[in-house]
Amino acid sequence: MGGMTRLQEAPPPGGDRDSSATAVHEATTVSTQDKRKRVDARAALGRSLKGALACGATRSLTGGEYETYRSFVRSQGSAPPAGRRLLQLRRRLNHNGLTRAAEGTRAPRVVLYVRTFHGEDPGPVFSQLREVTARKGWAVTHLHHDQLPFGQNPNVPPDEWPGWVAARDQIKRGFADGVLVPNRHHISSNATAYIQELEYIGYRNGFTWLLASESDP
């Protein structure tokens, strides 16, 4: 008889399937762990950036980091209060103006601006603003005041108030480094109009300083 053919032993039933299932399970576990780590890292970065912005540390944030923060906030379905966002924006726009003023050889020059209702005395408010400039060592160049005529709608665009136009014009022409006002409503209660005025001054290397910040109640 010819040589006998040795039959290969068949693998145990389900052996290959068990190995494949184990490999798939391990790969899925690793993928899930990696995804969880990425989510945790992103959340930690978001919290870190959010904390930095909350305390005003915007100078150390690059554009990419700030966009990461914005993306994180959107992913959480929430955003900082409107007043806080306006404060953060003003700080960023003030950066160049405050830096230039601090590095100059003379005291920073500021104009004071106050808007009052009909018959209201602006004197006490100007006194408060002068106290701030004295503490900071700023030189006051001019005082500008607008008064709302009796019965007139107070929601007038900022560029229609002569005193305010004169104040920002002095910054534009280089006669002042910044403007100091009691609060943002002396510029505009409309957020869009207020932002436009901040940008007008900030883009001309000036700064806007408030006695009461946007985030104050």
How many domains would you assign to the chain?
2
Tens-place pLDDT, residues 97-125: 999 988 888 999 999 999 999 899 999 99
Verify that 130 and 176 share a domain, yes or no. Answer: yes
- The residue type at 94: N
Is 50 exceeded by the pLDDT of residue 86? yes
pLDDT at 198: 96
Is 90 exceeded by the pLDDT of residue 154? no
Verify that 66 and 91 share a domain, yes or no. Answer: no
Per-residue pLDDT, averaged over 16-40, amounts to: 53
Tens-place pLDDT, residues 184-217: 999 999 999 999 999 999 999 999 999 999 987 5
When comparing pLDDT for 6 and 214, which is higher? 214
Verify that 66 and 86 share a domain, yes or no. Answer: no
pLDDT at 42: 53
Verify that 154 and 102 share a domain, yes or no. Answer: yes
The residue from 24, 45, 75 where one domain ends is 75
Verify that 93 and 134 share a domain, yes or no. Answer: yes
Tens-place pLDDT, residues 158-169: 999 999 999 999
Is 70 exceeded by the pLDDT of residue 68? no
Verify that 50 and 112 share a domain, yes or no. Answer: no
pLDDT at 97: 94
Verify that 52 and 119 share a domain, yes or no. Answer: no
The lowest-confidence range among 13-22, 73-82, 96-105, 111-120 is: 13-22
pLDDT at 186: 95
pLDDT at 167: 97
Verify that 99 and 206 share a domain, yes or no. Answer: yes
What's the mean per-residue pLDDT of the chain?
77
Domain that holds residue 61: 15-75
Per-residue pLDDT, averaged over 60-86, amounts to: 59
